[in-house]
Structure 1
Amino acid sequence: MLTDEVVKEPVRTRPRRVWRRRLATAVAVLFAAGTAVRLGGLESGVLLVPLVSFTPYFGVAALLMLGAAALVRSRAAVAVMLAVCVCLAWLVLPRALPGGTDAATGRPLRVLTANLNGGRGDARTIVDLVRTLNVDVLSLQELTWAERDRLAAAGLETLLPYQVTKPETWGPVGSGVYARHPLRERTGLFQPVGHHMPVVEAALPGGAVEVVVVHPVAPVPSTVPEWEAGVGTLPPAPSTGAPRILAGDFNATLDHAVFRRLLGTGYTDAAAATGKGLVPTWPMRRIPPLVAIDHVVTDGRARAVDVRVLDLPGSDHRALFADLRVRS
């Protein structure tokens, strides 16, 4: 009697599954490298400086990659992506969590900052915002002579009669500040690198407050070193003298190391402190706004109780309003 013998071949992992796991691990390593750049503040050059602006979106992509790694059952990729997701959550999520601003006390100071897109921002909208929000100090970037005339015609000087303006005929260079209370221009505080950045002291009831209009150049390929110098040379937070407010288009997000170093001198970002740090302000053109590069930052003697990000027709930026409380 003949017996058929069944020869069993050794079970082999399918080549396609192996390559999927290897690919998942390789992509996870790339995510880890990107996270290390952000953690270490290692961004430099024309590629990484713009890319680090999108760290919050990188975090969303990391979550999706974690799910993909789990689907292909790559233990190495899952382990790496879990570490990446924890790090990115630690970096990004605090900006969406308010920091107990209800208990803030001090003199009220309402600040509005807006980039006018080379004088194209709608003047009547600016004046309406100043009136509706009861603004005390208005910081404007990319102010032109023609736009200054339109703002005056719309009634801005009736609401904010004091001004220090440095407009230009066209382009992004001009800046200015308007206020409800008398202003005194200060010089010699720092050497601006970029566009006009006037410094003023506003004689508010209870004591003066110093305001710096911020607008370094954008970090496009030809100006990355100038951009870094422009943010890096902004004056550090003081502990004595008049409380200092920096307001404007920083062309930097909370993920840029040079901006974080500035905050590390003693400043607080008003939007992040009120849970609005992930609300984007730019661009406002053919695509929705993606990144938050407009800021109001305060030294340790001021605190934000509310921040609003507002549309401004004609501009490629959204306006930013901060309701502050200032202690003498």
Structure 2
Amino acid sequence: MLKTIGGVIVIVLATAGTIVIGIAVLPQLFGLSQAQGFTQISAFRGLIVTAAAVATILCVVAALVRRGSRRVLPAILAVVLAGVSVTGAVVIAGRGIDDRPTAGESTDLPGQVTVLTWNTLRDGLEPGTIAAVAIREGADVVSLPETSAATARTAAAAMTAAGRPMVAHTGGTGVSATSLLVSTGLGEYAVRETGAGGALDGSETVVAEPVLGDGPTIVAVHTTAPLPSRLGDWRAQLAELAAICGPGADVILAGDFNATLDHLSPLRGAGDLGSCHDAGANSAVAGLGTWPVQLPPVLGAPIDHVMAGSGWVTIAARVLTEFDDSGSDHRPVVATLLPRTAP
């Protein structure tokens, strides 16, 4: 009797686990990309693919060592898990995992804007490191979640001294703030309130607009993490970002969205988020995880993004993997954008 009950429990758990893994690989197909549980699990598609592959091998072994009808279930699960693993791997490969520089990345075209985003883990990066990477990449915009005003000002001063004048803006206080560096070559920018009572008021997101109205609105993004207790806030903040990315909006977003492209799928419009297109997806690097750096890029969660409205074309984008020991738990993302109206 106990063996029978134990066998049923094993069958139920194995089947349920396979179903969960299958849904987590493509949660948007089931309308569960922002659902409790699947939100957290699906961010790590690379780990799910690996787990499914290991489980496939175990099921194959179980099917081989069992006899008669007892081998049917592990054989079926092996086939399903293999399909899940292959499907997940295809999705990752399709989104791109090549972080090597691409042709056109070193261009300097009229109107070109290079954007760098790097969550610094509560001032975990030295200002000199931030400035050096930004200068190396030729950044005109630097979005710095979890970066204090003091660190931002020091990094901006270092860039200015190196011949790339930048102005620092900060929203929030202390090391939980989000800072934004904007090149003086883009004109004067001022930070505006995200809106009284708006969902983004509960985040550290910074919205900067051109003082003279000539240029894109720049949003340094840092949404609430999708913890079980904050999932509603997280959904609302992403929805507000999608609204900022309305049709025809001249906007550039960069930062820690705490969301993958799968999480954003319910908010798709003409682009990946409203009418905004993800630069990583356009440059085939959206399969690389940006957090945490302790995991290989193909296993991590791609939650840091550079996005832009339909008036911008992505020339190139990369996830920078060579700074994993610099002091942050996030990898920087850099993208070069060009206005569609550029000559």
TM-score, normalised to structure 1, is 0.76
Whole-angstrom CA distance in 1 between matches of 2:331 and 2:125: 10
Q: Report the CA distance shift for 1:193/1:53 in structure 2 as closer, same or farther (over 3 A).
A: farther
CA RMSD of aligned residues (A): 3.6
- Which of residues 4, 7, 23 in structure 2 aligns to 1:36? 23
Instruction: Give SS of 1:115's match.
Output: coil
- Which of residues 56, 67, 75 in structure 1 aligns to 2:46? 56
Displacement, 1:280? Answer: 2.0
CA deviations on 1:108-167 (whole Å, 9 max, x unpaired) are: 221111112222321111111222221121122222133134324534476453535125
Instruction: Give SS of 2:50's match.
Output: helix
Q: Report the CA distance shift for 1:159/1:91 in structure 2 as closer, same or farther (over 3 A).
A: same
Which segments of 5 or more consecutive residues in structure 2 lack a partner in the other structure? 65-71
8 Å Cα contact 1:199/1:210 also seen in 2: yes
Q: Which letter maps to 1:268? A: H
- Which of residues 169, 183, 186 in structure 1 aligns to 2:188? 183
8 Å Cα contact 1:116/1:140 also seen in 2: yes
8 Å Cα contact 1:25/1:76 also seen in 2: no
8 Å Cα contact 2:248/2:309 also seen in 1: no
Q: Report the CA distance shift for 1:327/1:260 in structure 2 as closer, same or farther (over 3 A).
A: same
Q: Report the CA distance shift for 1:45/1:171 in structure 2 as closer, same or farther (over 3 A).
A: farther
Alignment of 1:156-195 (within 5 A): 156=160, 159-163=163-167, 165-179=169-183, 180-185=185-190, 187=192, 191=198, 192-195=200-203
Alignment of 1:246-257 (within 5 A): 246-257=253-264
8 Å Cα contact 1:35/1:87 also seen in 2: no
8 Å Cα contact 1:307/1:323 also seen in 2: yes
Q: Which letter maps to 1:94? A: G
- Which of residues 206, 209, 212 in structure 1 aligns to 2:216? 209
Displacement, 1:82? Answer: 4.6
8 Å Cα contact 1:107/1:326 also seen in 2: yes
Whole-angstrom CA distance in 2 between matches of 1:55 and 1:287: 12
8 Å Cα contact 2:124/2:327 also seen in 1: yes
Q: Report the CA distance shift for 1:169/1:209 in structure 2 as closer, same or farther (over 3 A).
A: closer
Alignment of 1:88-237 (within 5 A): 88-89=88-89, 91-96=91-96, 107-156=111-160, 159-163=163-167, 165-179=169-183, 180-185=185-190, 187=192, 191=198, 192-201=200-209, 208-236=215-243, 237=245
CA deviations on 1:197-245 (whole Å, 9 max, x unpaired) are: 22234699xx622321111122234322222222221144344353x21
8 Å Cα contact 1:283/1:316 also seen in 2: yes
Instruction: Give SS of 1:282's match.
Output: coil
- Alignment of 1:322 onto 2:342: no
- For these two proteins, the number of residue pairs brought into alignment is 304
Displacement, 1:169? Answer: 4.4
Q: Report the CA distance shift for 1:240/1:231 in structure 2 as closer, same or farther (over 3 A).
A: closer
Identity of aligned residues (%): 26
- Which residue in the other structure is 2:279 paired with? 270
Which segments of 5 or more consecutive residues in structure 1 lack a partner in the other structure? 1-14
- Which of residues 278, 288, 298 in structure 1 aligns to 2:308? 298
8 Å Cα contact 1:110/1:136 also seen in 2: yes
CA deviations on 1:282-323 (whole Å, 9 max, x unpaired) are: 224x66663221111122332323222232723222211112
Q: Which letter maps to 1:77? A: L
- Which of residues 276, 292, 304 in structure 2 aligns to 1:283? 292
Q: Which letter maps to 1:33? A: V
Q: Which letter maps to 1:254? A: L
After the TM superposition, which of the residue ranges 140-149 and 247-256 deviates more from structure 2? 140-149
- Which residue in the other structure is 2:69 paired with? none
Whole-angstrom CA distance in 2 between matches of 1:316 and 1:270: 21
Computing the radius of gyration from Cα coordinates, the structure with the larger value is 1
Q: Report the CA distance shift for 1:64/1:35 in structure 2 as closer, same or farther (over 3 A).
A: same
Whole-angstrom CA distance in 1 between matches of 2:115 and 2:327: 21
Q: Report the CA distance shift for 1:197/1:44 in structure 2 as closer, same or farther (over 3 A).
A: closer
- Which residue in the other structure is 1:6 paired with? none
Whole-angstrom CA distance in 2 between matches of 1:50 and 1:157: 42
TM-score, normalised to structure 2, is 0.73
- Which residue in the other structure is 2:319 paired with? 309
8 Å Cα contact 1:96/1:276 also seen in 2: yes
Instruction: Give SS of 2:226's match.
Output: coil
Displacement, 1:86? Answer: 5.2
Q: Which letter maps to 2:287? A: L
Q: Report the CA distance shift for 1:302/1:155 in structure 2 as closer, same or farther (over 3 A).
A: closer
Whole-angstrom CA distance in 2 between matches of 1:325 and 1:155: 22
